[in-house]
Amino acid sequence: MTFEESSTIVTHHKILLADDSVSIRKVVELTFADEGFDVTAVGDGDAAMQKFVEIQPDLVLVDVNLPGPSGYQICEMIKQDESTKSIPVVLLVGSFEPFDQTEAERVGADGFLTKPFQSIRELVSKVDELLGIDNPERAVIADTEDIDNLYVSSFAETIRVDDNLTANEYLSNGGMDDEMIEASYPADVPADAGTAFFVPGMEEREQVDPFDTLADTIDISIGKAGDEPPFEPRFVFDDAEPFPRFEDEETVSNEDTIHDEPVAETRDAVTKNISPELIALIAQKVVEKLSDKVVREIARDAVPRIAEKLIREALEEDNKG
């Protein structure tokens, strides 16, 4: 599964579009896909009603002059049902088609837009307004909330920090204070070790650049949204150094660390209980973060190595020659 595919998991708003114009369907699909929406587009009124029940959209865009039930009729059906009447419905009206505003109001439409749109941004703004979205970075915020929620449900109730308390209970009791956190870090941590990972209690407490070793040492398998349960995510930690191996319990020497439980057991708990959604979200976040700063860091590290390799190869070839 690619990270791009995993983004389907974090799509939050579903839009149902019913319009018999192929171009309008394509334009709306392209535009809203870029905005992080999941668009289902159909070309007639019957398909619209069928898909409405099937996908339970957050918003409906419907052409007033559709083959089969008209946009007005579809809107009326949605608004007459108690369970669906809160779903916003926007009517789309062709410039040269008759539009009955009184009828639109009677059936409870939440708005209408004329085609061709002045600008497609006009439609995006309307949708954002009706869905109560006013933050352009809404997707990022929502993802972060989801990560927090999934984190709690995946870990906090399942990982035990001692014999009596779950992580949630432990944290609600105050968790670690600053002194405990400081004590859990090795004493020789350089002040500029901002992005390095440290594992308390490792025999050789060397800095580990996570992005230097991450790709080589961790194999993360992620299931697609439609995968059949039970789906078992898989973390494989290999022996490559300097990434620390969790099995190295005997090397744990720092008595102040909170890892009283055998670390390998904790890893097993993580492996069993982590949800594929959480993995996908984290993976996506990692890719997003890779976009600028980290890519530069990786490039800074990788380019001299590649250059050195090429020079060596060239010299070897010269020597052979």
Partner 1 sequence: MSTDKHKIPKILVADDDPEILRLVRQVLESDGFSAVTAADGKEAYKLLQSEESFAAAILDLVMPFIEGRELVRYMQSERRLMKIPVIIMTTELSSRLSSDSFSSGAVAFLPKPFTDSQLRTTLGMFVASHKPGDVEKTR
Contact set with partner 1 (CB under 8 A): 21, 23-24, 26-27, 30-31, 34, 115-121
CA distances (Å), origin 293, targets 23, 232, 287, 288, 300: 39, 32, 11, 10, 11
**Cα 108 vs. chain centroid, distance in angstroms?**
34
Residue among 77 and 120 whose Cβ is closer to partner 1? 120
Cα atoms in the 13 Å half-sphere on the side-chain side of 181: 5
CB of 31 to partner 1, least distance (A): 7
257 in Cβ contact with 201 (< 8 Å): yes
CB of 18 to partner 1, least distance (A): 16
CB of 115 to partner 1, least distance (A): 7
Residue among 106 and 121 whose Cβ is closer to partner 1? 121
CB of 111 to partner 1, least distance (A): 18
CB of 117 to partner 1, least distance (A): 5
Residue among 33 and 295 whose Cβ is closer to partner 1? 33
**What is residue 217's three-state secondary structure?**
helix
Q: Which pair of structure tokens corresponds to residue 234?
A: 């898989």
Residue among 23 and 271 whose Cβ is closer to partner 1? 23
Residue among 116 and 175 whose Cβ is closer to partner 1? 116
For 142, residues 6+ apart whose C-beta sits below 8 A from its C-beta are 10, 12
- Polymer length of the chain: 321
CA distance 3 to 128: 26
Strand spans (E) along 24-68: 38-42, 59-63
272 in Cβ contact with 264 (< 8 Å): no
CB of 95 to partner 1, least distance (A): 9
Closest listed residue to residue 220, CA positions, set 280, 149, 151, 154: 280
CB of 208 to partner 1, least distance (A): 39
Residue among 15 and 87 whose Cβ is closer to partner 1? 15
Residue among 34 and 163 whose Cβ is closer to partner 1? 34
CA distance 148 to 154: 10
